Amino acid sequence: MSQKREVWGSKLGVILAVAGSAVGLGNFLRFPVKAAAYGGGAFLIPYFVAFLLLGIPLAWVEWTMGRYGGRHSHGSAPGILNVVIRKKWAKYVGSLGIFGPMLIFFFYVFIESWLLGFAWYFINGELINAVKTETVSELFNNFILLETHIFGSIPSALFFFVITFFVNFAVIWFGIRRGIEAAGKIVMPLIVVLGLILLVRVLLTPGIGRGLAFMWNPDFKTLADPRVWLEASGQIFFTLSVGIGAILTYASYIRKDQDVALSSLSACAANEFTEVILGGTIVVPMAIVLFGSSNIEEIATMGTFGLGFNTMPVVFGMMPLASMLQFIWFILLFFAGVTSSISIIQPAISFTEDELGWNRNRSVLVIGTISLIMSLVGVFGLSAGAIDELDFWGGTFALVLFGTIEAILFSWVFGIDKGWDELNTGSHIHLPDLFKFVLKYVTPVYLIIVLFAWIVTEGWGFITLSGISQDQYTEFLGFSMKKVTFIASFRILLLLLLLGVNVVIYYAWKKNKLDRKQEISEIKEEAINV
């Protein structure tokens, strides 16, 4: 085990890094689509309820457990849960906190690279031409399906994917302070400035009242629909990056007595600023103003990527300073994406450094190689459904499941009294005792309900492939096969990866058996002294 670990240079640095992890495409695209589709202003009621009862408490849980684990030189979920819970099985449960974010990383970097590609299309004028000839959708579809080329015969999407991939690992290679913290300190203020430029431009658009009406006029009838509450809870979960394992890892690099309560709240607040104020005002209102509310349903059904890549270039293309706004839009989202993706691969890097004792070169090389191979499967398997699978298992299932497990373990196994004391150690704000009750009862029950409701309404259909017919065929690397065969094979591959992660955990603990025993006895001694 590595004993000498890096620490964040400043409190602001870790807050901006965590906020950067949380701020991503979802803030600018997913939130406005959900709000507009599920009751407009009324959506904000379940949304803020979930923020208070689910988002903030779970973020506190992760920051607290992360700092506790970091104190014992552990920066990833297996090690952190092992010292928090002190049960043999805890480290294997923690495998979800490495496996889940890795799956997200495998497809997220590819999506991130689309943004860089579209920023390039602004520079070479192709995007403006596509807006004029009304072929933006065609450009987007051809791009992601590797049918557009650059420098001769290199698929453009592959080219931008490789650049984006190396940008991510370059930041990771520079480490916590020189890499991630430095990136957060530059990128987060830049996101706010670029977002504010777009916000001011949007608010000065004639007729913006119609767009804001669609986004904010409340439809209270929707509050009776349980699905609205589920969607609002899901949005809070995704937007705050809880349940991924990234916050656990980032928090493990703060000093042992440094505040977590205020830092966590600040990161959540910064995320909400970009989501509700910037995200809620820019996208949907502008789309409504320029396309008219008669096209509302069509706009809503375009979903996140449709809005981001097809609608927004057209929206900005119809405004003065079109090309500049298009460039700002894609670079803004690209930066937001990079600060998120570096956070979701860091748990795996920290695991190899802390538990296997690898140096950073080796960690970056091995995790980078695995990620590159799996990401390329996603790139070439996009039309076959590989990215949908990664998004489901990593970006939804593992995330909600792991978040629920964390909340239960923190309050009921670690113990709410001990957890509450740990949370308040070094705190710069006084937390109301009401939140102790919330952490113990409300958040775990809330999460269990969200998990089951989500499985019943959406998850089960996906797991059982109910939307795919047996005679549906797909292509992967030139081979034609049944889509169900491809998905079943891909699921086996993911299962093997999960198994592999657990084997490595077993090996790491076996290798350092004496260190672990000493560590546990130290923790017990520490507990007795307390």
Helix (H, G, I), strand (E, B) or coil at 473: strand
Closest contact distance (angstroms) between CB of 273 and another protein is: 6
202: part of which helix (H) or strand (E)? helix 182-203
Report the residue number, 259 or 391, with the smaller CB distance to another protein. 259
Closest contact distance (angstroms) between CB of 515 and another protein is: 18
Helix (H, G, I), strand (E, B) or coil at 482: strand
Report the residue number, 20 or 317, with the smaller CB distance to another protein. 20
The four Cα atoms 112, 115, 121, 122 give a dihedral, to 10 degrees, of: -150
Cα angle for residues 498, 503, 506 (degrees, 5° grid): 130
Report the residue number, 4 or 513, with the smaller CB distance to another protein. 4
| Contact status: 277 vs another protein (CB under 8 A) | yes
Pick the closest to residue 39 from 217, 219, 236 (CA basis).
219
Closest contact distance (angstroms) between CB of 277 and another protein is: 6
Count other C-beta atoms under 10 Å from residue 187's C-beta. Answer: 23
| Contact status: 222 vs another protein (CB under 8 A) | no
| Contact status: 15 vs another protein (CB under 8 A) | yes
Encoded tokens for 169: 């690992």
With contacts defined by CB under 8 A, name the span among 100-108, 138-146, 268-276, 477-485 that binds another protein.
268-276
Strands (E), 94-252: 149-150, 154-155
**According to CB under 8 A, which residues from 43 to 102 bind another protein?**
44, 48
3-state secondary structure 214-231: HHHCCCHHHHHCHHHHHH
Indicate the residue type of 112.
Answer: E
| Contact status: 518 vs another protein (CB under 8 A) | no
Number of chain residues interacting with another protein (CB under 8 A): 48
| Contact status: 210 vs another protein (CB under 8 A) | yes
Closest contact distance (angstroms) between CB of 262 and another protein is: 6
Report the residue number, 53 or 111, with the smaller CB distance to another protein. 53
| Contact status: 369 vs another protein (CB under 8 A) | no
With contacts defined by CB under 8 A, name the span among 42-50, 307-315, 370-378, 516-524 that binds another protein.
42-50
| Contact status: 272 vs another protein (CB under 8 A) | yes
| Contact status: 136 vs another protein (CB under 8 A) | no
| Contact status: 174 vs another protein (CB under 8 A) | yes
- Residues 78 and 89: their CA atoms lie apart, in Å, by 9
**According to CB under 8 A, which residues from 419 to 438 bind another protein?**
428-429
Report the residue number, 214 or 435, with the smaller CB distance to another protein. 214
On whether the CB atoms of residues 278 and 110 are closer than 8 A, the answer is no
**Contact with another protein (CB under 8 A) among 8, 118, 159, 476:** 8
117: left (phi over 0), alpha (psi -120 to 50) or beta: alpha
- Residues 181 and 189: their CA atoms lie apart, in Å, by 13
| Contact status: 521 vs another protein (CB under 8 A) | no
Distances (CA, A) of 61 to 41, 90, 234, 351: 29, 16, 18, 20
Closest contact distance (angstroms) between CB of 438 and another protein is: 17
Closest contact distance (angstroms) between CB of 7 and another protein is: 6
| Contact status: 236 vs another protein (CB under 8 A) | no
**Phi/psi of residue 217, each to 5°?**
-60, 125
Closest contact distance (angstroms) between CB of 61 and another protein is: 18
DSSP states of 372-434 as a string?
Answer: HHHHHHHHHTTTTTHHHHHHHIIIIIHHHHHHHHHHHIIIIIIIHHHHHHHHHTT-SSPPPTH
With contacts defined by CB under 8 A, name the span among 71-79, 217-225, 395-403, 517-525 that binds another protein.
217-225
Q: Which residue has the tokens 């970006």?
A: 395
With contacts defined by CB under 8 A, name the span among 216-224, 232-240, 465-473, 494-502 that binds another protein.
216-224
Cα angle for residues 36, 297, 282 (degrees, 5° grid): 40
Closest contact distance (angstroms) between CB of 213 and another protein is: 4
Output DSSP code: residue 76. Answer: S
| Contact status: 342 vs another protein (CB under 8 A) | no
Longest dimension (CA), the chain: 73
**According to CB under 8 A, which residues from 101 to 120 bind another protein?**
none
Distances (CA, A) of 244 to 142, 358, 400, 434: 32, 23, 8, 26
| Contact status: 273 vs another protein (CB under 8 A) | yes
| Contact status: 517 vs another protein (CB under 8 A) | no
**Contact with another protein (CB under 8 A) among 142, 166, 205, 218:** 218
- Which residues, 6+ apart, have CB-to-CB distance to 322 below 8 Å? 128, 131, 316
**Contact with another protein (CB under 8 A) among 170, 193, 203, 269:** 269
**According to CB under 8 A, which residues from 248 to 267 bind another protein?**
255, 258, 262-263, 265-266
- Residues 444 and 452: their CA atoms lie apart, in Å, by 12
Closest contact distance (angstroms) between CB of 456 and another protein is: 29
Closest contact distance (angstroms) between CB of 290 and another protein is: 15
| Contact status: 214 vs another protein (CB under 8 A) | yes
Report the residue number, 287 or 505, with the smaller CB distance to another protein. 287
Q: Which residues bind another protein (CB under 8 A)?
A: 4, 6-12, 15, 40-42, 44, 48, 173-175, 177-178, 209-210, 212-219, 255, 258, 262-263, 265-266, 269-270, 272-273, 276-277, 280, 293, 359-361, 428-429
